[in-house]
Structure formats: C-alpha cells, structure tokens
Structure 1
Amino acid sequence: MYEPLWYALIASLVVSLLSLVGVFFLSIKEKTLSKILLHLVGFSAGALIGGAFLHLIPEIVEESSGISVFIYLIIGIGVFFILERLIHWHHCHEEICEVHTFTYMNLVGDSIHNFLDGIVIATAFLVDVHLGIVTTIVIIAHELPQEIGDFGVLLHGGWSKGKALFWNFMTAITAIIGALLGFFLSTKIEHFNSFLIPFAAGGFIYIAMSDLIPELHKEQQISKALVHFGFFALGVGLMLAIKLLGVE
C-alpha cells in the first residue's frame, strides 16, 4: 500500500530539485536565455495538452461513468483561473508594483502551485504507477521553464544568488508536503482519485491555453513561431509516444 507513496515522494523530490536549475543559466546571455525559455514553454504546453488528453482523461474515463469526469475537468479549469487571479491580484491590480513586493508574491504563488503538484503526483501514483510517471514527466516539463523564470524574478528583486536558490527550493519542497496530503486524502476519501485526476487535467489544460500558448503568440516572426510550434508538437509527440509504446 505504501509503495505508491514512496514513488510519489521520490517524484516530488525530483520536481523540487528543479528549483535549483536556475543557477546553471546564470552565465547565459539574456537574449539567448529568452530563446531557450520560449522553446521550453512550447514543449511544456505540448506536454501539458498531451498529458491531459492522452493520459489523464482517458485513464479516469475508463473507471468512471457519466459526465462527472468532464464536470470535474471544468471545475479544475475554473479553480485554476480563480487561483491565478488571487495569487497575482496585487501585481495586476496596481499599475505600478514594487519589484521587492512581487518577489514575495511570487514565492507564495509558487508554494501553492508546488503543493498542488504534489497532491496530483501522489493521486496519480495511487491510480496507476505508469500514470504517476507520466504525470511527473508533464509536471517536470512545465516546472523547468517556470523555475528558471522564478529564479530570475528573485534576482531581479535584488536577492543574492544564494538567498534566491534557498527560498526557491523551500517553496519547491511544498510538493513533498502535498504528496503526503494527497496520499492521505486518496486513502481516506472514497472516489477522491475520480475527482482529482480530471481536476488536474483541467488545470493542465488551463495552464497550457491561458499562460503558455499566449506567450508563444507574442512572437511576430513566422519562422520563429514555426520553431516554437515544433517544440509544442514535440511535447505532444512525447506523450503520444508513451501512449503508443504501451508504457501506460
């Protein structure tokens, strides 16, 4: 019974360690880093869409009946919309927002986000080990560009490299706490998995469509836009390959 928990904790730790990846990009020029990030954003969007439609939704549809799966999916989209608005309310509500203040808002938002990631990872491993692995891959694909950006936000706010790394990691390990809570809730609440998996799929779809793809639309050059689409297709292709190869 506890084997999925260990898998979830290890996966959450791996996701948490991504918070340290920003230090490896310090020597890269800002212009080059921006290009790399946009490629990663495209890949991340594809992985999120592919993970939701090719893995999470089909997995839970096989176990559930009726339209409840799609209702929970819509709820997931709605909750992630509200959550994003609440986290960034201070930043968006005022025309001028102090960078120093926004660094702390960014840490709070990351803590909540990583906490939810942990819950989703644990729940996925309890449904099926392979689904847990796929979910972890999708979350890693999304977290990689985000953690690099978050590290940059903290440095821009005047934080030292050491302080930025430490607090970025501290917010990331909330994923482990989330994994523990997700395991507890899944074992104590009947049909919790049937709710959370489509809910998570809704969250993945929202992040891809609302946050990531709009970033790609900012590119005006057709050639570069096609490259970004190529990375998007690569993300979807990875999820499709895992499906077709029978990993799940």
Structure 2
Amino acid sequence: MNKILYVTLIATLVCGIGTGFGAVIATLFRKSSSILMSMIMGIAGGIMLSVVTFDLIPEAILMGGMNTTLLGVFIGVAFVVVLDLTLPHTKLMKKYGSTVKTALLLGLGLAAHNFPEGLAIGSGFMGGKALGFELAIVIGLHDIPEGAAVASPLLKSRLSRAKIILLTAMTAVPTSIGAYVGALLGEISSTFITLCLGFAGGTMLYIVCGELIPESKDLFKGIFSTLSIIIGVVIGILITMAM
C-alpha cells in the first residue's frame, strides 16, 4: 500500500475510533437525570477549556509566535460567532432544537482542531514509523473525551443513538485530511500550523464559554455543575501532561 494512503488510513482509524468511543460512552447516559447530564456537560467543557489553555494555545505560540496565534484565535472566534448567529434560523435547528446547535458548533471546532492533529500524525510518520504510531495513539486517546463532548448535547435531542455516534465520528474526518497533507508535504509551514491551532483554540474557547458551561449550569444550578467543570479542567491538565 502507498505510504501516504497507509498513514491516512491509520489516522482515520485511530481518531475515528477515539471520537466514536467517546460518543458511545456519552450515549449510555441518554436517560439519565439532569444532575448527571449537567456533570457530563461540565466535565466535557472543563476538559476542552483546559486543553485549549494548556496545550493548543501554548503550542501555537511556541510554533509561530504570539501575533500569528492571536490572529488565528480572532479568526476562529469570528467564524463561530457567524455560525452562532446563523444556525438558530436553519431548518435543522427548528427540527431538532438548540442542542444540535451546541453539538454542531462544538463539532466544527473539534474538526478545526483535528486538522492540525492530522498534520502532526502525517509529519510524525515521515520522521519515523515509531514516532507516527506514538502520536496517533496519544491523539486517539485524546479524542475520546472530545467525542463525549460532541455527543453530550445531542442526548436531549430526538436523534437516534446511531446517528449521534455517526455524527460524532465524522468530526475525525479532518484528521484524515490533515494526515494526508502532512505525509504528502513532509514539512508544513509553521505559520500555517500556528494559524490552524489558533483558529481551533478560538472556536473552542467560544463554544466552551458560550455553550457547554452555560448549558451545564442550566441543566442543574446546584454545586455539582460547578464541581464537574473543575473536575474536567483537572482531567484536561492530566491529559495535557500525558501528551
């Protein structure tokens, strides 16, 4: 098999399984109480907030500098603001409700994040087979809580379990594209990757602060929603340290 296609297939399988498994875990709680749903949303939001703060943004700054990173963040925020203002008026939102909007926004943000992850996997394989597999496995594990984060808002919708898992797994598609590009070109411009990481960070910050955390607080206004966000942040720190 062609090496580039082989790398792309590995990235697709690992990240697709990671996000899909996260969705499966989340769907097991479809009929749970508001307290448990609030905790799931809070933990997912905390993880994403932590990963963006301690992983994405610092990595982007080291790779391409503060100015390029902030440009990417601002572009990402502007992009998701336009989506946030547009999505409530679409037929999809009217049919399935606002929870789909939250999941779609989060899914788009994760898709933007997954592309540079794919670049990392593709470039890693070009540097050595062992390095490529190591990056693929770590990123696949990292995608499990991301998959749960995308699937969690959909649990209140009328979408079937199979559709929720399928839609969540599809957020891994940009990883495949990124892996293909990374393997094809070998070395990607650091400025380009920095913009991608900044863009992903901006979208994730907006979604977590504007959608996931408020949704967690709305589902249950007691102390458990706050504690779950903190737990999520701690888990995100541990994930970042492990990577």
Q: TM-score, normalised by structure 1?
A: 0.70
The Cα of 1:241 is off from its aligned counterpart by: 3.3
Across the aligned residues of Structure 1 and Structure 2, the Cα RMSD in angstroms comes to 3.8
Number of the residue aligned with 1:80: 80
Number of the residue aligned with 1:14: 18
Indicate which of 116, 119, 127 corresponds to 2:115. 119
Unpaired segments of 5 or more residues in structure 2?
Answer: 125-131
Number of the residue aligned with 2:96: 102
1:216-235 alignment to 2 at 5 Å? 216-218=216-218, 221=221, 224=222, 226-235=223-232
Tell me if the contact between 1:51 and 1:134 (Cα under 8 Å) persists in the aligned partners.
no
Tell me if the contact between 2:113 and 2:196 (Cα under 8 Å) persists in the aligned partners.
no
Q: TM-score, normalised by structure 2?
A: 0.71
Change (3 A) 1:147 1:126: same
Number of the residue aligned with 2:147: 143
Q: Distance in 2 between matches of 1:198 and 1:168?
A: 28
The Cα of 1:91 is off from its aligned counterpart by: 6.1
Change (3 A) 1:71 1:217: same
Q: Please, which moves more after superposition, 59-68 or 169-178?
A: 169-178
Q: Distance in 2 between matches of 1:148 and 1:220?
A: 15
Can you list the C-alpha shifts for 1:53-82, whole angstroms capped at 9, x where unaligned? 111111121122351111111111221222
Number of the residue aligned with 1:214: 214
SS in structure 2 of the partner of residue 25 of structure 1: coil
Change (3 A) 1:239 1:14: closer
Number of the residue aligned with 1:178: 174
Q: Distance in 2 between matches of 1:73 and 1:111?
A: 15
Number of the residue aligned with 1:159: none
Q: Distance in 1 between matches of 2:157 and 2:121?
A: 32
Tell me if the contact between 2:26 and 2:152 (Cα under 8 Å) persists in the aligned partners.
yes
Q: Name the count of aligned residue pairs.
A: 224
Q: Distance in 1 between matches of 2:63 and 2:232?
A: 26
Q: Distance in 1 between matches of 2:205 and 2:106?
A: 20
Can you list the C-alpha shifts for 1:154-180, whole angstroms capped at 9, x where unaligned? 25xxxxxxxx23333432342343222
The answer to whether the aligner puts 1:58 opposite 2:58 as a matched pair is yes
The answer to whether the aligner puts 1:240 opposite 2:237 as a matched pair is yes
Q: What is the aligned-residue identity percentage? A: 15
Tell me if the contact between 1:44 and 1:142 (Cα under 8 Å) persists in the aligned partners.
yes
Q: Distance in 2 between matches of 1:234 and 1:127?
A: 33
The answer to whether the aligner puts 1:41 opposite 2:45 as a matched pair is no
The Cα of 1:151 is off from its aligned counterpart by: 4.5
The Cα of 1:242 is off from its aligned counterpart by: 4.3
